[in-house]
Amino acid sequence: MEVINITTPLTTDMARQLQAGQLLLISGTIYTARDAAHKRLMGMLDRGEESPFPLKNQIVYYAGPTPPAPGAVVGSIGPTSGYRMDAFAPRLYKLGVTASMGKGGRSLEVVASLKQYGAVYLAAIGGLGALLSKHVTAVEMVAFEDLGTEAVRKLTVEKFPAIVAIDSKGVSVYERNSV
Amino acid sequence: MRTVPTSDIRDVIAEIAVKACMEVDVSVTDSFAKALKTETSELGSYVLNQLIDNYDIAKRERIPICQDTGMVTVFCSVGQDVHLSGDPVEDMINEGIRIGYEKGYLRKSVVRDPIDRVNTGDNTPAVIHYRIVPGDKVTVTVVPKGAGCENMSKLTILKPTQELSDVKSFVKKSVFEAGANACPPFFIGVGIGGNFEKVAILAKEAVTLPFTERSEIPYVAKLEDELLAEINELNLGPQGFGGKTTALGLRVLVYPTHIASLPVAVNISCHAVRHEKAVI
Ligand code: SF4
């Protein structure tokens, strides 16, 4: 298994070099956004408003953490299923997001947009929330605080592990599965 | 007649809800250790090792195993010689959830209405299944099950003339389609028989059975073994990255049914199979 260390921002050039099956260790900044945050963000974009967090060269992490215990930076923070954001992802890739990170497969439309914009889909390991919290060194509330766990948070991460699940050529780690 | 104050039920629920979210049964970690010996996929083995570390960190540092600490199902069996005293039992069960989720720093994942979707802020209400049973005890099983795998669960009603092989095909197809979304390796509960709602409850209950044991009904025990083996040939593997470890446990519960029906339900649990039982 090939291990690649990357530091954000993740440029399109960097994203294009990533290959399905590689293990990434991500350091830098990533933004959490899941169902409700996506829905609200789409409404804002529809009305011509600015995104409340940067999109260009950013990694969007589909995650909603547990509340931090006293003294902890963050609670348990693993990925949620990516397919539920399929309808929204192509628009974010178009606006410059270079990676989304979740778990599970994506629609053909999402794969097509990865190819079109030179972006990737990363899989964090589902149900790894306690361990992943150890790779988050700071958390900042960025938008939609009223959504609770579904708010947009800026995470500072260090060697946060994720697999390149679908690369910018459309190659997928899930494809080799067959009945 | 034995009197059980419903406040006792509240306190027990508060305690076991938190425990369930931080600790899996030792049989789960044992099954991981065993799976590691046979898993040949490199990515699959990496995932299994990471998950073993995660259980360890969660238990030691009291961090939830998974951030999705579920909408809680509670199975509550009340002995018919029990007199429940105090506030309504339903309120006290929910109060227990409220306390546990607050004190345990667990995620509040319940919305008050499926359409307006405003979070209730305390992870209540639970979905509660009561049963009146012989005896003077109250047994509660708390199942904080995440939505990733719950969303992938399936129910069908086959024709009564269909065969056991059709039941198997439905189960395997459901598991395959669940894929990586439900966070394999899985623990799978299958219900066969009853009617529309009964079969779903059977499948959910089957997830809470000890997965190292087998049914007392010979054909069901054989079915459990066969389905588990065949599912592990699907090559979904840990997290759907391919490999031999797709499911670590599978239990089946059956119930009488109508001459015209053959209901089948598949309730998939992710590797973070969380349930805690207490007898009061
Ligand atoms: S399916 Fe299970 S392990 Fe995966 S995210 Fe949901 S609760 Fe966690």
B63 has a chain A CB within 8 A of its CB: yes
How many C-beta atoms surround the C-beta of residue A16 within 10 A? Answer: 16
Q: What is the pTM of this model?
A: 0.94
pLDDT at B146 over 50: yes
**d(C-alpha B245, C-alpha B28), whole Å:** 13
The pLDDT, as a whole number, for residue A175 is 81
Query: Is any ligand 1 atom within 6 A of the Cβ of residue B182?
Result: yes
Dihedral of CA atoms B258, B259, B264, B265 in degrees, nearest 10, equals: -10
Running DSSP on this structure, what letter comes out for residue B8? H
- What is the pLDDT confidence band of residue A178, given thresholds at 50, 70 and 90? very low
Query: Which CATH number do you get for residue A126?
Result: 3.20.130.10
Query: B110 by DSSP, 3-state: which?
Result: coil
ipTM for this prediction: 0.94
Mean pLDDT of A32-61: 97
Is the distance from CB of B67 to CB of A65 less than 8 angstroms? yes
pLDDT at A176 over 80: no
Residue A87 lies in a domain: yes
The pLDDT, as a whole number, for residue A97 is 98
Residue A171 lies in a domain: no
Catalytic residue (choose from A14, A33, A38, A139): A38
- Nearest-Cα distance to chain A for B243, in Å, is 9
Residue A179 lies in a domain: no
Is the distance from CB of A147 to CB of A36 less than 8 angstroms? yes
Calculate how far, in angstroms, residue B7's C-alpha sits from the geometric centre of ligand 1: 31
Residue A172 lies in a domain: no
Interface test with B, best of A83, A103, A160, A171 (most B CBs within 10 A): A103
Residue A175 lies in a domain: no
Looking at the 3D structure of chain A, how many domains does it have?
1
**d(C-alpha B8, C-alpha B13), whole Å:** 9
Tell me the torsion sign for CA atoms A127, A133, A139, A145.
positive
Helix (H) or strand (E) holding A114: helix A108-117
B108 has a chain A CB within 8 A of its CB: yes
pLDDT at A177 over 60: no
pLDDT at A89 over 60: yes
For B186-231, the pLDDT digits (tens) are 999 999 999 999 999 999 999 999 999 999 999 999 999 999 999 9
The pLDDT, as a whole number, for residue A179 is 34
List the domain range (segments joined by +) for residue A7: 3-166
Query: Is any ligand 1 atom within 6 A of the Cβ of residue B138?
Result: no
Who among A23, A104, A128 is closest to B51 (CB)? A128
Interface test with A, best of B239, B268, B271 (most A CBs within 10 A): B239
Higher pLDDT, A176 or B160: B160
